[in-house]
C-alpha cells in the first residue's frame, strides 16, 4: 500500500485540465478518474482534453463531472483518447496551447503519458506560467525517476497469460518459440516476463544481441538433455522484424524456432489491481501536489514511496535495466 503525500495547500486552484498522451496504457482510465474526483473533492473544476496534445492545441476540452468517470476504473484504454502530436514539438504551437489554457482559466495541467509526453509537459511548464504535473503512463516502465509506471503490471500479466499458453503447445511439439514483447528502447517488459514465465533466455535492446551465444546456449541445453522446446522472450527493439530476423539467423545454425509477436494485445485489457491502485494514488497525489504549489514535477514511486521528481531530472534520461535480472533468467531456467 502506498502512503499518500500530505502537503499543506498553498494555492487556490480554479480549474485544471487532464490529458493522456503517447502510447496508451491500461490504468490510464483509473488515473483520469482519480484526477477528476480528487480535484472535484477539493472544489476544483476539471477539463478533460481529448486526444492528448492534439486536442490541447485546438482547445478540444470539456468540463467533466464525477459521473463522467463512473465505471471506468476497470476499463483498459483511455476515455480521453490518446495521440501522438508531432506539432507539439514546436514552441509556437506550445504557446498556442498555453494561451488556450489561460483563456479557459485553467491553472494546472496533469499529463499522463510516457517519456515523450513528459518531455512536452516539461517544456510547457518551463516556457509558460502554467503549473504542470506529469504521471508516468506507459506499459514500458522505461521512465527515469520512478520504479513503476501505470500499465506495466497489466502488460506483463497479459504477456504471461499468452506465453503460458504458448508453452503448452511448445512442450507438446518440442518446439522452440521466439515470443516478441513490446519495448522499442528498453527490455523491462521482456525481463519481467522472462523471469515470470521461466524463459530459457531473453533478448533485450539494452544489451547487444549475440546470435552465436544464443545458439551456443541452445546447443548446450540440448546436450544437457533439457529438451528442444522452450521460450525465448525478445523485446521488439527499434527495427521492425527483429524477431523474424533472429529466427532466420538461428536457422543458419540448425535451430528451428517459431515466431509469435504479441504486439498491441499488451496495451489493452482491464488493468490489474496493482495498476488500478497505482493509478488511483498517483492521480490523487497529482492534485495534492498542484494544490501545494508544485510545478514541473512527475509523481512517481521510489521504493514504495510516492515521490515528486523534477521533470528535468526525468526526461531524456535512460532508466537502466538491471543486468542481474537478465542474468537471473539464465540461471533460473537451468
Active site residues: 140
Binding flag, residue 243, ligand F6P (CB under 6 A): no
Q: Which stretch binds ligand F6P (CB under 6 A): 54-62, 177-185, 217-225, 306-314?
A: 177-185
Q: Which stretch binds ligand F6P (CB under 6 A): 178-186, 203-211, 275-283, 314-322?
A: 178-186
113 binds, among ligand ADP, ligand F6P, none (CB under 5 to 8 A by kind): ligand ADP
Binding flag, residue 78, ligand F6P (CB under 6 A): no
Q: For cell 502488460, what's the residue?
A: 155
27 binds, among ligand F6P, ligand ADP, none (CB under 5 to 8 A by kind): none
191-to-10, 38, 93, 211, 324 alpha-carbon distances in Å: 42, 35, 38, 18, 10
The binding track of 202-241 with respect to ligand F6P, each residue x by CB under 6 A or -, is: ----------------------------------x-----
| SS3 of residue 133 by DSSP | strand
> Which residues contribute to the site for ligand ADP (CB under 6 A)?
21-23, 53, 84-86, 88-89, 113-117, 119-120, 123, 138
CB neighbour class for 322 (10 Å; exposed up to 12, middle 13-18, buried from 19) = exposed
Q: Shortest Cβ distance from residue 197 to ligand F6P (Å)?
A: 18
Q: How many residues belong to the chain?
A: 334
CA 324 to chain centroid: 22
Q: Shortest Cβ distance from residue 265 to ligand F6P (Å)?
A: 11
Instruction: Please list the residues that pair with 17 across neighbouring strands.
Output: 47, 109
Q: Shortest Cβ distance from residue 189 to ligand ADP (Å)?
A: 14
Please, are residues 138 and 115 in contact by the beta-carbon 8 Å criterion? Answer: yes
Identity of the residue, 104 or 184, whose beta carbon is nearer to ligand ADP in the bound complex: 184
47 binds, among ligand ADP, ligand F6P, none (CB under 5 to 8 A by kind): none
| SS3 of residue 328 by DSSP | helix
21 binds, among ligand ADP, ligand F6P, none (CB under 5 to 8 A by kind): ligand ADP
Distance from C-alpha of 281 to C-alpha of 333, rounded to nearest angstrom: 36
Please, are residues 318 and 181 in contact by the beta-carbon 8 Å criterion? Answer: no
Residue 94 C-alpha cell reads as 506550445
CA 122 to chain centroid: 18
Binding flag, residue 139, ligand F6P (CB under 6 A): yes
Identity of the residue, 24 or 107, whose beta carbon is nearer to ligand F6P in the bound complex: 24
50 binds, among ligand ADP, ligand F6P, none (CB under 5 to 8 A by kind): none
Please, are residues 204 and 181 in contact by the beta-carbon 8 Å criterion? Answer: no
Binding flag, residue 267, ligand F6P (CB under 6 A): yes
β 230-235/201-203 pair status = parallel
CA 126 to chain centroid: 24
110 binds, among ligand ADP, ligand F6P, none (CB under 5 to 8 A by kind): none
DSSP letter, residue 298: E
Identity of the residue, 53 or 188, whose beta carbon is nearer to ligand ADP in the bound complex: 53
Cβ-closest residue to ligand F6P?
23
Identity of the residue, 183 or 300, whose beta carbon is nearer to ligand F6P in the bound complex: 183
Measured over the CA atoms of residue 76, residue 119, residue 310 and residue 96, the dihedral's sign is: negative
Distance from C-alpha of 131 to C-alpha of 110, rounded to nearest angstrom: 9
Identity of the residue, 53 or 177, whose beta carbon is nearer to ligand ADP in the bound complex: 53
Which residues would be at the binding site for ligand F6P (CB under 6 A)?
A: 23, 114, 138-140, 182-184, 236, 267
Amino acid at each position: 500500500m502506498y502512503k499518500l503525500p500530505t502537503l499543506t495547500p498553498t494555492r487556490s486552484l480554479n480549474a485544471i485540465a487532464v490529458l493522456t498522451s503517447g502510447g496508451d496504457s491500461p490504468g490510464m482510465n483509473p488515473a483520469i478518474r482519480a484526477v477528476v474526483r480528487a480535484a472535484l473533492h477539493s472544489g476544483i473544476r476539471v477539463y478533460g482534453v481529448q486526444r492528448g496534445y492534439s486536442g490541447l492545441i485546438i482547445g478540444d476540452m470539456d468540463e467533466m463531472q464525477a459521473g463522467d468517470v463512473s465505471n471506468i476504473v476497470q476499463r483498459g484504454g483511455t476515455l480521453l483518447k490518446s495521440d501522438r502530436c508531432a506539432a507539439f514539438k514546436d514552441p509556437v504551437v506550445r504557446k498556442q496551447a498555453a494561451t488556450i489554457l489561460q483563456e479557459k482559466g485553467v491553472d494546472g495541467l496533469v499529463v499522463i503519458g510516457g517519456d515523450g509526453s513528459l518531455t512536452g509537459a516539461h517544456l510547457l511548464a518551463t516556457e509558460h506560467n502554467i503549473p504542470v504535473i506529469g504521471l508516468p503512463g506507459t506499459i514500458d516502465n522505461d521512465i527515469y525517476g520512478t520504479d513503476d509506471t501505470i500499465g506495466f503490471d497489466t502488460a506483463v500479466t497479459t504477456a504471461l497469460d499468452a506465453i503460458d499458453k504458448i508453452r503448452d503447445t511448445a512442450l507438446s511439439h518440442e518446439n522452440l518459440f521466439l515470443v516478441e514483447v513490446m519495448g522499442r528502447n528498453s527490455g523491462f517488459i521482456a525481463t519481467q516476463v522472462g523471469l515470470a514465465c521461466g524463459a530459457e533466455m531473453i533478448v533485450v535492446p539494452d544489451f547487444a544481441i549475440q546470435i552465436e551465444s544464443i545458439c551456443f546456449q541452445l546447443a548446450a541445453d540440448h546436450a544437457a538433455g533439457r529438451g528442444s522446446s522452450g521460450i525465448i522472450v525478445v523485446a521488439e527493439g527499434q527495427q521492425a522484424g527483429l524477431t523474424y530476423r533472429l529466427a532466420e539467423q538461428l536457422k543458419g545454425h540448425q535451430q528451428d524456432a517459431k515466431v509469435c509477436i504479441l504486439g498491441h494485445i499488451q496495451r489493452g485489457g482491464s488493468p490489474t489491481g496493482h495498476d488500478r491502485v497505482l493509478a488511483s494514488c498517483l492521480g490523487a497525489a497529482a492534485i495534492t501536489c498542484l494544490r501545494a504549489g508544485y510545478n514541473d514535477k512527475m509523481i512517481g514511486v521510489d521504493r514504495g514511496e510516492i515521490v515528486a521528481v523534477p521533470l528535468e531530472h526525468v526526461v531524456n534520461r535512460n532508466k537502466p535495466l538491471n543486468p542481474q535480472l537478465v542474468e537471473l533468467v539464465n540461471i533460473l531456467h537451468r
